[in-house]
Amino acid sequence: METNGTKGLLLEEPLIFEKSSEGRVGVEPASFDVPAADAASLIPKGLLRDGLGGFPDLSEIDTVRHYTRLSQWNFGVDSGFYPLGSCTMKYNPKVNEDIAGMPGFTKLHPYQSTDLAQGALELMYELEGYLSEISGMDAVTLQPSAGAHGELCGLLMIAEYFKAKGKPRTRVIIPDTAHGTNPASSHLAGFKVIPVKSEGKGVLTVEAVKAALDRETAAIMLTNPNTLGLFERHIKEIADAVHAKGGFLYCDGANMNAIMGIMKLGDLGVDVVQFNLHKTFSTPHGGGGPGSGPVGVRKVLEPFLPVPRIKKAGRKFKLVYDRPRSIGRLKAFYGNFGIMVRAYSYIRRMGGEGLKRASETAILNANYLKERLKGTYQIAFDQPCMHECVFSDKIQQAHGVSTMDVAKRLIDYGYHPPTVYFPLVVPGAIMIEPTETETLETMDRFIEAMKAIAEEARTNPELLKNAPAKTKVQRVDETRAAREPVLRWKGVKK
Ligand SMILES: *Cc1c(COP(=O)(O)O)cnc(C)c1O
């Protein structure tokens, strides 16, 4: 078996401005074979610049090396295993990138007339249909540009629904296992958040929900599978309970990777769901975007969907703006189109059977990891999991070693650490999501590394306390790094 670990050369690299040498150029254009014209005679004065102040002067090779070296400081799915729970950092087939890069898509202008963008509209129309089919919803909008943006869209529609009825509602119920974006989106949409506890059971009970429900409840917002990687088994009864009070069931569908092709959220009583195309549907993510968070709704909420809507009239596609009950626009133009192309291409290539197999493999991989690592690390809820599993540092605590130490040591072994200290209901959580795209060999090597680290925790905890030892930067003060970022690297002597 290939050994775990890291070895190699990471080159120091100053800021590009510090490498600048005045007058040096990267590319010399060929000499003109037409007479030179005076720019001032052709371009209005207000649009002319005196020069390009503040730009570095570099040769082509120094520019190439600068960015190549910076890219080597990074870690991505294309360079190694990245089991970041809740994030679905899976490999995205390059064919979908090729298709999204086709000039017919990339060279479209958002102001182009719909007559000249029929292919794009058809793709969006069909993608809405596929997402409706996958989720069991009646209608889908592609406009929101992230999962959280989709949540906001769904909640604004729910708020508008009650306003239109003349009976605005004020509350949204959210379990303690929810992703942090759920309460944030609810608050932004004007709701008061009512928390409910999963009471150490890992999943919500209908009793806990019923106790929080009243006639002010606009919606309950849950994630299925939830952030513990567990299937909310009582979701149907929870749906019935919230419907009985006239409220909606919102499902955060960011974890679609575990259920697509296997079951439809609509069949479980869900009324609104957002997708994260940048997790499950072939767009790599991280670093803040770009994303796409389409939202599916049941028929009663369809009039409230953002404008424009894409409609098919005969064989033509058009954009419809005249929808008086719509919440309006959420995004300039039509959403992040390139991400829609990748999702469309991915769904068409996989087919229904392929999507189902992806979900099944994601679940199988997570359960394999869980079974092989339990005992070495404390498992939070020992029951079959969905696409991710949650451990804690309870066993390692006896040696004074914490989740953070384990995570940092994993970097020395060449892995991106899993999600840590989330979900909050598990103290010292280590949340692992292998995804369906990893091979058995990759997972076995990761398991070996995790076991080796547990052994080090027992016999040589100092190793973990001083990890990572092999990176350019060791442990940073993460809070201060976020609050007082030093954007100028002071490491070079000129
Ligand atoms: C990732 C995620 C979100 C947020 O999605 P963004 O695109 O980052 O806004 C919301 N809920 C869950 C469960 C998630 O995993």
* CATH, residue 473: 3.90.1150.10
The structure tokens listed for 244 are 């009985």
What's residue 289's pLDDT? 65
Q: What is the residue-averaged pLDDT of the chain?
A: 93
**Which of 349, 382, 407 is the last residue before a domain boundary?**
349
In a domain, 89, yes or no: no
Report how far ligand 1's centroid is from the alpha carbon of 262 (Å): 21
Alpha carbon of 296 to ligand 1 centroid (Å)? 16
- Considering the domain architecture, whether residues 22 and 108 belong to the same structural domain is answered as no
Nearest-atom number in ligand 1 for the CA of 149 is 9
Task: Tell me the CA–centroid distance for residue 90 and ligand 1, in Å.
Answer: 15
In a domain, 415, yes or no: yes
Pocket test for ligand 1, best of 151, 155, 179, 433 (most atoms within 8 A of CB): 179
Tens-place pLDDT, residues 32-58: 899 989 988 999 989 998 877 778 999
Q: Could you check whether the bond before residue 29 is cis, i.e. omega within 30 degrees of 0?
A: no
Residue 79 lies in a domain: no
Query: Is residue 158 domain-shared with residue 224, that is, in the same domain?
Result: yes
How do residues 120-152 score in pLDDT, each as one tens digit? 999 999 999 999 999 999 999 999 999 999 999
Asked whether residue 325 falls in the same domain as residue 366, the answer is no
Check: CB of residue 256 under 8 Å from CB of residue 90. no
Residue 119: CATH number of its domain: 3.40.640.10
Do both 383 and 313 map to the same domain? no
Ligand 1, atom 14, lies closest to the CA of 254
Cα 456 vs. chain centroid, distance in angstroms? Answer: 33
Separation between Cα atoms, residue 160 and residue 139, nearest integer Å: 17
| Ligand 1 pocket test, candidate residues 84, 86, 152, most atoms within 8 A of CB | 86
Q: Which of 252, 331, 386 to mutate to test the pocket of ligand 1 (most atoms within 8 A of CB)?
A: 252
| Residue-wise pLDDT tens digits, 406-464 | 999 999 999 999 999 999 999 999 999 999 999 999 999 999 999 999 999 999 999 99
Decide if 489 is inside a domain.
no
What's the pLDDT at 84? 95
User: 29 alpha carbon to ligand 1 midpoint, in Å?
Assistant: 46
Q: Look up residue 104 and give its amino acid.
A: G
Tokens (6 digits) for 333: 């133009």
For residue 150, the ligand 1 atom closest to its alpha carbon is 9
pLDDT of residue 165: 96
In this structure, the answer to whether residues 321 and 369 fall within a common structural domain is: no
Q: What is the pLDDT of residues 398-418, one digit of tens each?
A: 999 999 999 999 999 999 999
Q: How far is the CA of 137 from the centre of ligand 1 (A)?
A: 20
| Co-location of 387 and 439 in the same domain | yes
Q: Looking at 349, 375, 410, which one is the last position of a domain? A: 349
For residue 258, being part of any structural domain is answered with yes
User: Quick check: 174 pLDDT over 60?
Assistant: yes
Query: Which residues contact residue 199 at a Cβ distance below 8 angstroms, ignoring those fewer than 6 apart?
Result: 205, 208
Q: What is the pLDDT of residues 332-379, one digit of tens each?
A: 999 999 999 999 999 999 999 999 999 999 999 999 999 999 999 999
Judged by DSSP in three states, 284 sits in coil
Query: DSSP label at 306?
Result: P
Residue 338 and residue 317 share a domain: yes
Whether residue 396 is contained in a domain is answered as yes
Distance 151 CA to ligand 1 centre (A): 9
> Which amino acid appears at position 141 of this protein?
T
Q: What was the pLDDT predicted at 464?
A: 97
Total number of domains in the chain: 3
pLDDT of residue 288: 61
pLDDT-derived band at 491 (thresholds 50, 70, 90) equals very low
Backbone angles phi, psi at 374, to 5 degrees: -70, 140
Query: In terms of domains, do 191 and 321 share one?
Result: yes
* Residue 195 CB-density burial (10 A; 0-12 exposed, 13-18 middle, 19+ buried): exposed
Tokens of 162: 């009650």
Answer whether residue 90 is part of any domain: no
Span from the CA of 83 to the centroid of ligand 1 (angstroms):
16
- Among 189-198, 253-262, 287-296, the least confident range: 287-296
Mean pLDDT within 237-260: 97
pLDDT in tens, 201-233: 789 999 999 999 999 999 999 999 999 999 999
Q: Work out the pLDDT band at 4, boundaries 50, 70, 90.
A: low
Q: Do residue 174 and residue 241 come from a single domain?
A: yes
- State residue 215's pLDDT score: 95
Q: Is residue 363 part of a domain?
A: yes
One domain, residues 104 and 123? yes
The amino acid sitting at 187 is H
pLDDT at residue 489, rounded to an integer: 56
**Residue 55 lies in domain:** 1-74
Q: Which residues line ligand 1 (CB under 6 A)?
A: 86, 146-148, 179, 181, 223, 227, 252, 254-255, 276, 291, 293
In tens, the pLDDT along 57-96 reads: 999 999 999 999 998 888 889 889 999 999 999 999 999 9
Residue 3: pLDDT above 60? no
Last-in-domain residue among 318, 349, 380: 349
* Residue 432, H or E segment: strand 430-432
Which one-letter amino acid corresponds to residue 205?
A: T
Higher pLDDT, 294 or 55: 294
Burial label for 221, CB within 10 Å (0-12, 13-18, 19+), is buried
* 142, 243: one domain: yes
Residue 181 Cα to ligand 1 midpoint, Å, equals 7
Same domain flag for 306 and 406: no
Grade residue 1 by pLDDT with cuts at 50, 70 and 90. Answer: very low
